[in-house]
């Protein structure tokens, strides 16, 4: 999440919104969000409802939910999905920002 926080202005510049969805209960999620001063919205998904909708995997031997990143365009179409195989398997922000640049060019 630190990389998303660091580059959040670049996402905004590309007319994108970051929304983080976490497995914690609402109180723990809010405490973390407040403590870390996250600049983008976050949503507690302790019952895995959203994770199930997007096909996010849970691997108990790897400490729970695996990272997932989904880019949804302004029309509500999923344009990119990445499902991590380990907790560290997260796409680089530069890759996602390049994708957003491409999507913005297509929309012109």
pLDDT digits 0-9 by tens, 53-106: 888 877 665 567 778 899 998 888 999 999 888 888 899 999 999 999 999 998
- CA nearest to 12, candidates 107, 93, 106: 93
What is the CATH classification number for the domain harbouring 60? 3.40.30.10
pLDDT tier at 51, thresholds 50, 70, 90: confident
- The confidence score (pLDDT) of residue 33 equals 92
pTM comes to 0.84
- The confidence score (pLDDT) of residue 42 equals 92
- Which position has the token pair 């365009």? 73
Q: Which two tokens stand for residue 97?
A: 């920002």
Q: Which two tokens stand for residue 83?
A: 């499902």
Count structural domains, the chain: 1
- Which position has the token pair 């870390």? 36
Count of H-run helices and E-run strands, the chain: 4, 6
- Domain extent at residue 99: 2-107
The residues facing 20 across adjacent strands are 42
Q: Which two tokens stand for residue 92?
A: 């680089």
pLDDT tens per residue, range 21-33: 888 899 999 999 9
Phi/psi for 52 (5° steps) reads -65, -40
């Amino acid at each position: 999440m630190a990389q998303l926080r660091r580059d959040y202005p670049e996402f905004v510049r590309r007319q994108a919104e970051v929304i983080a969805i976490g497995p914690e209960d609402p109180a723990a999620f809010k405490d973390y969000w407040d403590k870390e001063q996250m600049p983008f919205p976050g949503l507690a998904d302790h019952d895995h409802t959203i994770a199930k909708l997007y096909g996010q995997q849970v691997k108990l031997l790897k400490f729970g939910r695996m990272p997932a990143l989904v880019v949804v365009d302004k029309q509500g179409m999923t344009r990119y999905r990445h499902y991590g195989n380990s907790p560290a398997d997260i796409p680089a922000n530069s890759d996602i920002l390049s994708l957003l640049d491409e999507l913005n060019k297509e929309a012109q």
